[in-house]
Amino acid sequence: MFQFSEEKLQQAQKIIARYPEGKQKSALIPLLHLAQEEAGGWLDVPVMDYVASLLSIEPIEVYEVATFYTMFNLKPVGKHVFEVCQTGPCMLRGSDDIISYIKEKLNIGPGETTPDGMFTLKTVECLGACGYAPMMQLGKTYREHLTREKIDQIIEECRRQVAVNN
């Protein structure tokens, strides 16, 4: 059964304490972020049920929120998720080329994960980095002013990171 580590549980309780009595449901989105971090990047049903029990709400209240927001993954993703923006301002600065280059390099399409479970490619809509386009989100960071060379470097960097962690 999934449950938060001691550290995450403390963080969760601190968040819940922000809201007035009886309004603990307000903590749902912050808690789902914590849960997704802890559960390997995606929200399986038992994970969502656990969050529901922490907040004393019905599981369906968690499912309807988790399915609404783009940042919550409802199926497994790779260790590194490339979320490449494809909206107008990025398109004007060459995001189409960046997306096709990543597809070619990793041999996967948007929404797919490499067979080794290392990379997932997602196309996303505007992330608020239009002046630094083309760009993508990688974990908690933004990678901006992307070029083919930078994509090569980022892929290398991710591979090295995984090698160190293993």
Residues that bind another protein (CB under 8 A): 18, 20, 23, 25-30, 32-33, 55, 57, 61, 64-65, 68-72, 86-89, 91-93, 124-133, 137, 140-142
Helix then strand then coil, % of the chain, to nearest 5: 50, 10, 40
Supply the minimum distance, in Å, between the C-beta of residue 166 and another protein. 25
When the beta carbons of 117 and 139 are compared against another protein, the nearer one is 139
Supply the minimum distance, in Å, between the C-beta of residue 163 and another protein. 25
What tokens were used for 41? 């990047």
Q: DSSP label at 128? A: S
When the beta carbons of 23 and 160 are compared against another protein, the nearer one is 23
When the beta carbons of 40 and 128 are compared against another protein, the nearer one is 128
Strand order of the β-sheet with 136-138 is 119-124, 80-85, 136-138, 141-143
Supply the minimum distance, in Å, between the C-beta of residue 29 and another protein. 5
The residue with tokens 């107008």 is: 88
Supply the minimum distance, in Å, between the C-beta of residue 58 and another protein. 12
As a whole number of Å, the CA-based R_g of the chain is 18
When the beta carbons of 43 and 106 are compared against another protein, the nearer one is 43
Supply the minimum distance, in Å, between the C-beta of residue 123 and another protein. 10
Query: Measured between alpha carbons, how far is 156 from 40 in angstroms, rounded to an integer?
Result: 21
The residue with tokens 């007035």 is: 20
When the beta carbons of 63 and 159 are compared against another protein, the nearer one is 63
